[in-house]
Amino acid sequence: MLIYNSLSRQKAPLKTVEEKKVRMYVCGMTVYDFCHLGHARMLVSFDVVQRWLQVKGYEVTYVRNITDIDDKIIKKAVATNKPIQEVTAFYTDAMHADEKALQVESPTHEPRATQHVPGMLQIIQDLEAKGLAYQGEDGDVNYAVRLFPGYGKLSGRSLDDLRAGERIAISDSKRDPLDFVLWKSAKVDEPADTKWESPYGWGRPGWHIECSAMSKALLGLPLDIHGGGPDLKFPHHENEIAQTEGAYGGELANIWMHCGPLMVDNDKMSKSLGNFRTIRETIGSETASKDLATYDVNVREAEMLRFFIVRNHYRSAQNFTPDNLFDAQAAIDRLYQTLHNVGYDEVEVDWTSCYAAEFSEAMDDDFNSSLAVSVLFELNTAANREKSKKLASQLRALGGVLGLLQQNPATYLQSPTRYTRHQTSDASAISEEQINALIEERKQAKQSKDFAKADHIRQQLKEVGVELEDKPGGLTQWRRL
């Protein structure tokens, strides 16, 4: 297997610390709001990575953390007049609902930052003993960036070019503007549940130290793979390296993986641009509520979103537009239509087949799911051409490797969807009961040889996004376009 290493900026063979075991740490969510589409890309991308590693016979210990103490969390708790734990519990449940909707498998461990404060303090004390950490006049403990020779090696920036990251506050008590906070001194007006006692006084951990402590505690050093979103390379991952390697030497991780950015209409997604979209807004049914952690999921749209992400290489930039969603929906529909028409058995992947070999070759080359998906469509064409249940069964099995094509095809195809060019604005409003009633009315019309009425009903259904297919024996099947 070849994996692109963001640190070396080239592909290299996967070599693990322990034979056939992978220790993978991925930076997870800060739970103060609902997950957005950028989070969806990260969640699905690394889900595909851990799935494929398991297919290749590796025992994967996958750790994805939860940041449950942070300035934004405190701000949300104060604004809503709720305890920190209540806020983080709600948005953690909401995140789990999103993961379930997108068929993202649970990580092996899901540590909370608040569970690892003692470990964070130990790393800070070790850094202080080595002269890499100091306490400022304001009580904050900072990392002395310029005293760590390797700083900037992940982001590829020199110290003179670097600027403090989004979450790095600059204060007069810092020796250098680039120094970042390891321990934040508690403020008088901050809630009591945001403070821990420490050798440096009451306070709370800085953001970066959290992942250094959790990854070391659960996986040891070095990690085989450390991953995350593209915005974490600097400052978060750069600072993790400085902390962990500064305290303990060696390498924090042998391979660094970062998924590409997800854009919306070719712009970076942001609330100020009005293009910010949450996962639940994109795949939730109309009964989905922002007041509830869990929500009703439109299963067809959820699969569309997962497919939309998987059909692109995880490192590529991805653009979220209506046309791209329409294309993704139409494409995954074709695969389900084949399973519906040709039929399938529940089988294991036949890795000796030419299709599976091509699929495997693609995934072994830096998890190239884009090329692997193209193999699914080759298999789809062959299954249709040959009316082969055996090939359709392999299509479903290989799709399952990517977390796709596991729904009942008839149920899937009859689910309403917003993401199609063929529907009118109220197309999904027609219910299954109304569709079946019109099909029955059409059947009666055909029996009465009123073919004009039968054709009119077919056209009437097509105009609201429902396509009929007459089968032998008088059976009529339908699907939403």
Res 160 pLDDT > 80: no
Largest CA distance in the chain: 92
Q: Other C-beta atoms within 10 Å of 147: how many?
A: 18
Q: Which tokens in the block code for residue 19?
A: 């034979």
Res 454 pLDDT > 90: no
- pTM more than 0.85: yes
- Per-residue confidence (pLDDT) for residue 425, from 0 to 100: 45
DSSP class of residue 11 equals E
Would the CATH topology of 2-263 be identical to that of 320-413?
Answer: no
CATH of domain 320-413: 1.20.120.640
Helix ranges (H only) for 102-155 are 117-129
Whether the Cβ atoms of residue 96 and residue 29 lie closer than 8 Å to each other: no
- Per-residue confidence (pLDDT) for residue 423, from 0 to 100: 54
Res 417 pLDDT > 80: yes
Compute the mean pLDDT over every residue in the chain, rounded to the nearest whole number.
91
Count Cβ neighbours within 10 Å for each residue of 261-299 and write b for 16 or more, e otherwise.
bbbbeeeebeeeeebeebbbebbbeeebeeeebebebbb
H-helix or E-strand spanning residue 53: helix 37-55
Q: Is 15 annotated as a binding residue?
A: no
Q: Is 99 annotated as a binding residue?
A: no
If you count DSSP H runs as helices and E runs as strands, how many of each does the chain have, helices first? 15, 15
Gyration radius of the chain's alpha carbons: 26
Q: Sorting pLDDT into bands at 50, 70 and 90, what band is 162?
A: low
Mean pLDDT of 198-210: 97
Q: How are the residues of the chain apportioned to helix, strand and coil, as percentages rounded to the nearest 5?
A: 45, 15, 40
Whether the Cβ atoms of residue 363 and residue 299 lie closer than 8 Å to each other: no
The residue to which tokens 């389900």 are assigned: 336
Mean pLDDT of 258-279: 84
Res 169 pLDDT > 70: no
Q: Cα(first)–Cα(last) distance of the chain, in Å?
A: 39
Q: What is the pLDDT of residues 310-351, one digit of tens each?
A: 999 999 999 998 889 999 999 999 999 999 999 999 999 999
CATH of domain 2-263: 3.40.50.620
The residue to which tokens 């064409």 are assigned: 381
Whether the Cβ atoms of residue 207 and residue 67 lie closer than 8 Å to each other: yes
Pairing of strands 141-143, 133-135: antiparallel
- Per-residue confidence (pLDDT) for residue 167, from 0 to 100: 47
Q: Is 238 annotated as a binding residue?
A: no
Q: Is 271 annotated as a binding residue?
A: yes
Residue whose C-alpha is closest to residue 16's, from 232, 237, 219 = 219
- The full 3-state SS of 175-194, as one line of letters, equals CCCCCEEEEEECCCCCCHHH
Q: Sorting pLDDT into bands at 50, 70 and 90, what band is 202?
A: very high
Q: Where are the domains of the chain?
A: 2-263, 320-413, 427-480
Mean pLDDT of 359-376: 98
CA distance 73 to 77: 6
Q: What is the pLDDT of residues 277-302, one digit of tens each?
A: 899 999 987 667 778 999 999 999 99
Main-chain phi, psi angles of 27, to 5 degrees:
-70, 125
Res 136 pLDDT > 90: yes
Q: Is 240 annotated as a binding residue?
A: yes
Q: Sorting pLDDT into bands at 50, 70 and 90, what band is 163?
A: low
